[in-house]
Amino acid sequence: MTRTLGIHDSVGAVFPPAVLAAELDGPDAVDVSIVGTGDLDGLDALVTFAHDDAFLEADLRWVHSVQAGVDKFPLGEYEARGITVTNSTGLHGASVGETVAGYMLSFARRLHEYRSNQERSEWAWADREDSFTVDGSSVSVVGLGTLGKGIAARADALGMDVTGVKRTPTPVDHVDRVHPTGELHEAIADAKFVALAVPLTDDTESMVGDAEFAAMRDDAVLLNVARGPVVDQSALVDALRNDELAGAALDVFETEPLPEDSPLWDFDDVIVTPHAAAATRDYPENIAALVTENARRLAAGERLGNTVV
């Protein structure tokens, strides 16, 4: 086992660090403490939500991100210092898949509209033209890793036609057609829903902007559970205002928390969730399983699971 493992207090953005500390306090216990940025001395390993430059100067051998996305971590600098970075991918297929299924069902069955009406005690049907079933509808899933596969499996189970976008277009279960990234426009052109599930990288930043909204159906709905900057947010607002898009469900934004004056709060057909698509009560337990196994591997000199660099 590792000598000492810190849980950085930034983890509190996702769940109380003490819950993870308790989960790790089992028979195979690592020596765990909850630490701030100033208390890194003597630690071998750190579990964290956020990056801090102080991590690069400490004596750490391993840093684990409690998120799947590590786009805020300067990975080259960690690599140059020989600090292994691991992420939490692999955990979110069911949670995010269900959230995206929920978004699609809400748009089809107008549930968000009825919930808004309820706040005004208003008994009124949605416009019949806006109501449909996801059964027989279509979704294009951009990125077919843990999230994308979780979304595709649930969409398929709901009777939807599923298109996918993948860097290498090999077949994927529950996906009817797989396109390479270079055919993004063809892949999204006919879909009622376009779900984004790629990591934020130089290649995916602003992957969806004016040209993609023009390529999509005017009655399409964008679902973003990836990272805010994958979408050109001002192009999205323009597309919504100009009826080039019927709606959006957004869990991630260019700036989080979404600023109070963002126009995205005000569209009837935009569902805003607070980067909560993957949140479950089991999350600390799932992270603890990943961390415990990697702590064992670190002690045994084995390659860590979910290694990013």
Site of interaction with ligand NAD (CB under 6 A): 68-69, 89, 92, 96, 143-148, 165-167, 181, 197-201, 203-204, 225-227, 251-252, 275, 277-278
Active site residue: 110, 154, 174, 275, which one?
275
Buried b (16+ CB within 10 A) or exposed e, 221-254: bbbbbbbbbbbbbebbbbbbeeebbbbbbbbbbb
Q: Which is nearer to ligand NAD, 6 or 143 (CB)?
A: 143
Q: Which is nearer to ligand NAD, 198 or 249 (CB)?
A: 198
Query: Does the active-site annotation cover 256?
Result: yes
Q: Which is nearer to ligand NAD, 40 or 248 (CB)?
A: 248
CB of 203 to ligand NAD, least distance (A): 4
Coil vs helix vs strand at 127: coil
- Among 139, 154, 145, CA closest to 94: 154
Q: Which is nearer to ligand NAD, 83 or 144 (CB)?
A: 144
Cα 237 from Cα 259, distance rounded (Å): 14
233: which 2 tokens? Answer: 């947010």
CB of 89 to ligand NAD, least distance (A): 4
Cα 195 from Cα 221, distance rounded (Å): 9
CB of 78 to ligand NAD, least distance (A): 16
Q: Which is nearer to ligand NAD, 70 or 245 (CB)?
A: 70
Phi, psi of 249 (to 5 degrees): -125, 120
302: which 2 tokens? Answer: 């084995």
CB of 228 to ligand NAD, least distance (A): 10
22: which 2 tokens? Answer: 């308790």
Q: Which is nearer to ligand NAD, 239 or 278 (CB)?
A: 278
What is each CA distance from 46 to 1, 84, 86, 186, 303, in whole angstroms? 14, 11, 10, 43, 17
Query: Does the active-site annotation cover 64?
Result: no
CB of 66 to ligand NAD, least distance (A): 11
User: What amino acid is encoded at 126 in this protein?
Assistant: A
Q: What is the DSSP string of 83-118?
A: -EEE--TTS-HHHHHHHHHHHHHHHHHTHHHHHHHH
CB of 133 to ligand NAD, least distance (A): 26
Query: Does the active-site annotation cover 51?
Result: no
Q: What is the DSSP string of 159-184?
A: T-EEEEEESS----TT-SEEEEGGGH
Number of C-beta neighbours around residue 206 at 10 A: 13
Give the residue nearest to ligand NAD (CB).
Answer: 145
List the Cα angle 278/67/165 in 5-degree steps. Answer: 70
Active site residue: 8, 51, 92, 227, which one?
227
Active site residue: 256, 260, 293, 302, which one?
256
Among all residues, which ones are annotated catalytic?
227, 256, 275
